[in-house]
A and B are shown apart, each in its own frame.
Chain A
Amino acid sequence: MKESLFKIITNKALTGSVYEMNLQGDTSEITGPGQFVNVRIPGFYLRRPISVAFVQNDILTLTYKTVGKGTMEMSGFREEEELDLLTGLGNGYDLSRAGEHPILLGGGVGVPPLLYLAKKLREKKLPIDVVLGFNTASEVFYRKEFELLGCRTEVTTADGSYGTKGFVTDAALFRENHSYFYTCGPLPMLKAVYEKSASDGEFSFEERMGCGFGACMGCSVKVKGGCKRICKDGPVLRKEEILWEN
């Protein structure tokens, strides 16, 4: 973990409520996809945990949804402004478990961390299938980015206004055989993937956090055989350890 200042290069809307911010700074602590950073927003007490959407050299991409006052404030930040970030937080996805042909399943603002994951898996020359789920056509983002990485990509929308009608588990790609899955999205989606998936896989969870680095136990949840801190022992948990009773 490291605390350092990042300079905002761009901060633009991808959809009505999802923004993509590119920042320049010391990315050395970010060791893999599925990790997050904790952003200090002036005027707010707690930091905001935001997943890493992409890293290239010293450029970090954060793709976030404006869900409350803090992220709303964040969407107003201009180029050249500096942000205080804690980087290198969370365990991230385990790439060694991908097998021959993994599938990535993202829902809504759970899509961004899968982009960096797709890049890292493509570097291993693996064929990747991707399903991106959204509520409606106007909320769709990053399809092209996954396709440019060479991923076979299918989009689902709950109202059928774009791509396959339904949820990520209704996608044609989801029914094919895969060696492993990686997923991130809202809780109902994660549960559906858990119940309907044929293969093993891992899930990235979201939780309200105090510190983001394992000190306060604010985001601790029960897992099989004990507890895990979503911020430090997660946010990625393996299928076999998950309990849904939390």
Chain B
Amino acid sequence: MGELNFADKARMNGETVERDRLAVELCGIPLENPVIPASGTFGYGAEFAELYDINILGTFSFKGTTLEPRYGNPVPRIAECTAGMINAVGLQNPGISHVIAEELPRMKAYFHKPVMANVSGFSLEEYAETCRLLGKEEQVGWLEVNISCPNVHGGGMSFGTDPSAAAEVVRTVRKVTDKPVIVKLTPNVTDIVSIARACEEAGADGISLINTLLGMRIDLKTRKPVIKNVMGGFSGPAVFPVALRMVYQVSHAVSIPVVGMGGVSSAEDVLEMMMAGASAIEVGSQNLVDPFACKKIIEALPETMDRFGIRRLSELSAL
């Protein structure tokens, strides 16, 4: 009997656990599994839909969208680090009108689940308008409000680093949509918990974290920063322990669901994040080095759960 995994044991007991072992819920919307490609690493899904059926994902968070089109930062925008990378893309995106007129209709052909709409803004008015417009779109399940992008001077950073400014964004967005509002937090703060609490009190339905950590590299040959914009967002497996710690802190301080991200690269990482208190997880940089990363993680989850005696993901709660 010691050789049997949990699924086998369940089958012997006449239970059926296979089908919904991975199922979780995020702000009242069921997810087939908790694996969500993170915004900025998955575009609008088209490049990945050419490789595999992306309907196997829980959902995905599409490229951060702003009211107006943005060219983003000058190149180089990418620098490699030990077990990670820095990016300074600068929220390049085609703007809300294009996303609604072109990307969402195109997405219908290859993705049939509610999608997570990631939005950014540089003023409360912009957040309100972008969220109002995207909130009306039938395909959009959740609004993930980025108040944390570290790349744009005077932009998202200022909202996400101050509890009252963060709460103000949440209150503004809350008024314009009935869709679940998930606030994506920056880790570049002294007290992540106070910001998460402020967002919850202002009416957020969920918290996602962490966005990238502000970092930089210098090219020894040129003696200049590798990134043209000097600094950028550090991500990848190297940040996982920091992300896990913050997910743990925040999920123990708020009663709304937490989406954990930051260096998640394997099924084991997913389980660890969920044990820290995450209701779902996002996979970011790993999609860039392995375009099949999310598919591999989803496929590896059942046997990884077997190894650790986990029958259903939904049974994992905070430590």
What is A's interface to B at a CB cutoff of 8 Å?
1, 3, 40, 44-47, 70, 86, 207-211, 213-222, 227, 232, 246
Beta-carbon contact of A45 and B47 below 8 Å? no
Q: List 16 A-B contacts (CB under 8 A).
A: A3-B290, A40-B289, A45-B82, A45-B85, A45-B236, A207-B75, A210-B87, A211-B288, A211-B289, A213-B291, A215-B41, A218-B77, A219-B75, A220-B77, A220-B92, A222-B71
B residues sitting closer than 8 Å to A (CB atoms) are 40-43, 47-48, 50-51, 63, 71-72, 74-85, 87, 89, 92, 226, 236-237, 285, 287-292
Least Cβ distance of A242 to chain B in Å? 14
Q: How far is the CB of A243 from chain B (nearest CB, A)?
A: 11
Instruction: Determine the distance from Cα of A232 to Cα of B291 in the docked complex, in whole angstroms.
Output: 14
Q: Are A220 and B75 in contact (CB under 8 A)?
A: yes
Please state if A46 and B75 are interface contacts (CB–CB under 8 Å): no
Contact B72 A220 (CB under 8 A): yes
Rounded to whole angstroms, the CA-CA distance of A216 and B85 in the bound complex is: 12
Residues of B within 8 A of A210 (CB): 77-78, 85, 87, 288
Which of the listed residues A40, A45, A207, A214 has the most CB atoms from chain B within 10 Å of its own CB?
Answer: A45
Docked-complex contact B89 and A218, CB < 8 angstroms = yes
Cβ contacts under 8 Å, A86 to chain B? 291
> Which of A70, A208, A211 contacts B76 (CB under 8 A)?
A208
A48's nearest neighbour on chain B, judged by CB, is B80
Q: Is the CB of B48 within 8 A of A46?
A: no
What is the CA–CA distance of A40 and B84 in the complex, to the nearest angstrom? 14
Which B residues are CB-close (under 8 A) to A1? 50-51, 291
Nearest residue in A to B45 (C-beta to C-beta)? A215
Tell me if A215 and B92 are in contact (CB < 8 A).
Answer: no
A218 nearest CB neighbor, chain B only? B78
B71 touches A227 (CB 8 A): yes
**Which residues in A have their C-beta under 8 angstroms from that of B226?**
208
Q: Which of B71, B236, B288 has a CB less than 8 Å from the CB of A216?
A: B288
> Which 8 pairs, one residue from A and one from B, show the smallest C-beta to C-beta distance?
A211-B288, A218-B78, A208-B76, A208-B78, A46-B80, A217-B92, A210-B288, A214-B47
Nearest CB on B from A220, distance (A): 6
Which chain B residue shows the least CB distance to A230?
B75
How far does the alpha carbon of A220 sit from the alpha carbon of B237 in the complex, in Å? 24
Q: How close is B1's CB to chain A, nearest CB, in angstroms?
A: 39
Supplied contacts A208-B226, A215-B48, A220-B72, 14 more A-B pairs, CB within 8 Å: A3-B292, A211-B288, A213-B47, A213-B291, A215-B41, A215-B288, A216-B87, A216-B89, A220-B77, A220-B89, A221-B75, A227-B71, A246-B74, A246-B75
Given contacts A45-B82, A46-B85, A214-B43, contact A219 B291 (CB under 8 A): no
Q: What CA separation (Å) do A246 and B72 show in the bound complex?
A: 11
Residues of B within 8 A of A46 (CB): 78, 80, 85, 288-289
Residues of B within 8 A of A47 (CB): 289
Given A208-B77, A232-B47: A217 touches B291 (CB 8 Å cut-off):
no
Residues of B within 8 A of A209 (CB): 78
CA distance A214 to B92 in the complex (A): 13
Cβ-defined contact, B291 with A45, below 8 A: no
Interface centre among A3, A47, A215, A246 (most CB of B within 10 A): A215
Please report the C-alpha to C-alpha distance between residue A209 and residue B77 in the assembled complex, in whole angstroms.
8
Q: How far is the CB of A60 from chain B (nearest CB, A)?
A: 19
